[in-house]
Amino acid sequence: MEYFEYIEYYHSSIKKINPVEIETLIKIILNAYKEDRTIFIIGNGGSAANASHFAEDLSKGTIANTLKTKRIKALSLTDNTSFITALANDSGYDSIFVQQLITFAKPDDVLIAISGSGNSPNILKAIEWANENNLVTIGISGFNGGNLKKISKTTLHVPLNDMCTVESIHSFLFHFIIIKLHGLINI
């Protein structure tokens, strides 16, 4: 594929996303901000990098004044390497996110789970736990959405069978969400 072909492919792929799903995610994040709830974000591989970046942007990139004390409370559960490796070693990799949620989450907090395939066992276990413990769950996926799309209360789905581009579009959408939230929070 040539450069300009990829641009067209990317552009046509973005057009397949349901904008209502994007607006719903923005409303959930805005409500969490207003109600001072915590947003936890998880993912593996490239989705872990997106989780980390999205959490940082939500917490810092949405404020215009760094002295402002009310902020979006967002944490990526992919960032505590010592905790993750201890959990993986002692309890198995499938439990790395559930165990952190047990430690930190409260009912009505938000869990955003990012998985290109929608079938990562540790992601699905975290969503199941969050659903059982009254968290707001959002599954962000690609391909056919996998089981993540089926069990999440809310979804943001990129219907595309190409992991690299799915992860790239997720990042694109996260930046759009940050820009939109920045405008809504700093009125």
Stated pTM of the model: 0.97
Q: How many domains does the chain have?
A: 1
Per residue in 117-138, is it b (16+ CB within 10 Å) or e — as a string? bbbbebbbbbbebbeeeebbbb
Examine residue 4 and state whether it is found in any structural domain, yes or no.
no
Give the amino acid at 91: S
Within its chain, how far is the Cα of 6 from the centroid? Answer: 25
Examine residue 18 and state whether it is found in any structural domain, yes or no.
no
Q: H or E element: which one contains 34? A: helix 19-34
Instruction: Count the Cβ atoms, other than its own, within 10 Å of residue 186.
Output: 11
Examine residue 10 and state whether it is found in any structural domain, yes or no.
no
Sheet holding 38-42, edge to edge: 73-76, 38-42, 110-115, 136-141, 154-157
pLDDT by position in tens, the chain (length 187)? 899 999 999 999 999 999 999 999 999 999 999 999 999 999 999 999 999 999 999 999 898 888 877 899 999 999 999 999 999 999 999 999 999 999 999 999 999 999 999 999 999 999 999 999 999 999 999 999 999 999 999 999 999 999 999 999 999 999 999 999 999 998 5
Examine residue 175 and state whether it is found in any structural domain, yes or no.
yes
- The sign of the dihedral angle between the CA atoms of 182, 60, 42, 12 is positive
Domain of 119, in residue numbers: 32-64+81-182
CATH number at residue 168: 3.40.50.10490
- CA 171 vs CA 66, 109, 114, 150: distances in Å: 24, 22, 11, 22
